[in-house]
Structure 1
Amino acid sequence: MTYCVGMMLEKGLVMMSDTRTNAGVDNISTFKKMFTWEVPGERVLTVMTAGNLATTQALVSILDERTKAPAEREPDVLTAPSMFQVARLVAGTLKDVIAANANEGQRADSAFNATVLLGGQIKGSPPRLFLIYPEGNFIEAGKETPFFQIGETKYGKPILVRAYDPKMSFEDAVKLMLVSFDSTVKANLSVGLPFDLQVIERDSYQIAHQRRIEADDPYYHEISTSWGEALKSAMDSLPSFKF
């Protein structure tokens, strides 16, 4: 399983993914699920993936190979004129990859499914964030839905819903995300460290901050411990139930 979050702020985008993949409790591996393409000063794009590993690796490889093809070919993620067109390109490629492997009907379709978060900014337009489904369609983040999750979403969503503020700083957004990820890790063994983090600052057209948060990261452990203590303290301060 996977857990990835993309969040829209007034200041830009924050993206975070875990790195755990597993095919049972005795077959756990670490694979990167966050991939970036940059043209400094012109565009920056980040993709995060959840689902069948073969499908997501094929998707990223195809997208990357197209950037190295001759200029007369169809637009790629580095030449598409807008984030919407990049989203269409990624969605179409994902659908094609799944269709190429799904040759045994609905059962195969499910086995090769994958979901993608695409975030970034192309010069002349604001930062944008898309959730791309395996069927090849997608939706865009907005004021009503300012963040997207893929993978194991249910455990980490409540804290995001309650504490998100579009005006928050990047630092506070990362803190919020880490609480969300910690809640997911505590509840589901199929999500785990290290976490990959990227910050895209509005109108910078490049990755402002990039970091891998390892299992022994002192700040993560401080957040995890402090959040657990804060929850216990809040629980103790609530009025007692009476029969």
Structure 2
Amino acid sequence: MTYGLGLYLHDGIVLTADTRTNAGVDHVATVEKISLFQTAGERVMMLASAGNLATTQAVVTLLNQRLAQPDSPYNLNTARTMFDAATMVGGVLREVMDTNAKYVAGYGDASASFLFAGQIAGGRHRLFQIYSAGNFIEASADTPFLQIGETKYGKPILDRAMTYGISLSEAVKLTLISFDATVRSNLSVAPPFDMAVYRRDSIGPVKARRIPENDDYFHTIRSRYSSSIQEMVRNLPLNDWDECQ
């Protein structure tokens, strides 16, 4: 499994995924789960994946192959809007599921999900969550984050602190706290993480940054956040229940 998180901000988008994949306790590997499709000055598209690795890799491979097929209805370079591009990603995912799911059913779950984000020149920056059925939802100022994979442990801090108006730097910090909470509670999620930060209207190019476990900034955030929580709990008032005296 993996954890993928997309933060939708007034200033841009932060898209992050961990890199752990496993097929049992004795087969753990690191796999890149963020893909970039971009033409500087024209379009920037970022895709984060979770779920069955064979499914997600097939989708990414087909999307890349079809960039060289001008007449393909799934060529991201020809999408007029980010909505059209999200529809293309959903269509390719549906194609892969239709082809493979019936064969995988006896062995496991073939499903996958994606976070898809970016901007096409002349349009606004957008963030979508694409389900295994190929349909999708979109982030908004009222719902400024979307998650895929192992979502539950990293969600509470987002519910409390994530808003559309925070800066990209604050969003990076919040992302790392969310990932640290997930790593501490779920063995199927682990560093390194891949993170892509996109500033609104820059139209790229974007590079994915790899954040290993020993990254200085990540270490600072996780250690200071942990100590701050411990101090906060100590400073909360004690109860006056008789049975505790």
Asked whether 1:93 is paired with 2:88, we answer no
Mapped to 1, the partners of 2:71 and 2:207 lie a distance apart of 34
Sequence identity percentage: 46
- How far residue 24 of structure 1 moved from its aligned partner, in angstroms, is 1.8
Q: How much does 1:215 deviate? A: 1.6
**Counterpart residue identity of residue 9, structure 1:** L
What residue number does 1:77 align with? 76
Partner of 1:54 in structure 2? Answer: 54
Q: 1:238 and 2:236 equivalent?
A: yes
1:18 corresponds in structure 2 to: 18
Q: Which consecutive unaligned segments of at least 5 residues does structure 1 have?
A: none
Which residue of structure 2 lines up, in the alignment, with residue 7 of structure 1? Answer: 7
* Structure 2 SS opposite 1:13: strand
Q: What is the identity, as a one-letter code, of the residue corresponding to 2:221? A: I
1:74-131 CA distance string (max 9 Å, x none): 35111111111111110011011011012259x4596110001100001111100100
The C-alpha deviation readout for 1:34-80, integer Å capped at 9, x for no partner, is: 000111111100000000000000000000000012x2333511111
For these two proteins, the number of residue pairs brought into alignment is 241
Deviations 1:172-218 (A, max 9, x none): 11000000000000000100000111111111111456411012111
- Residues 44, 206 of structure 2: 8 Å contact kept: no
Q: Which residue of 1 aligns with 2:187?
A: 189
Mapped contact 1:141–1:147 kept (Cα < 8 A) = yes
Alignment of 1:218 with 2:216, yes or no, is: yes
Contiguous gaps of at least 5 residues in structure 2: none
* SS of residue in 1 equivalent to 2:78: coil
Moved over 6 A (4+): none
User: Hey, what's the Cα distance between the residues in 2 that align with 1:75 and 1:173?
Assistant: 32
What value does the CA root-mean-square deviation take over the aligned residues?
Answer: 1.6
Matched, 1:39 2:45: no
Are the aligned partners of 1:155 and 1:183 in contact in 2 as well (CA < 8 Å)? Answer: yes
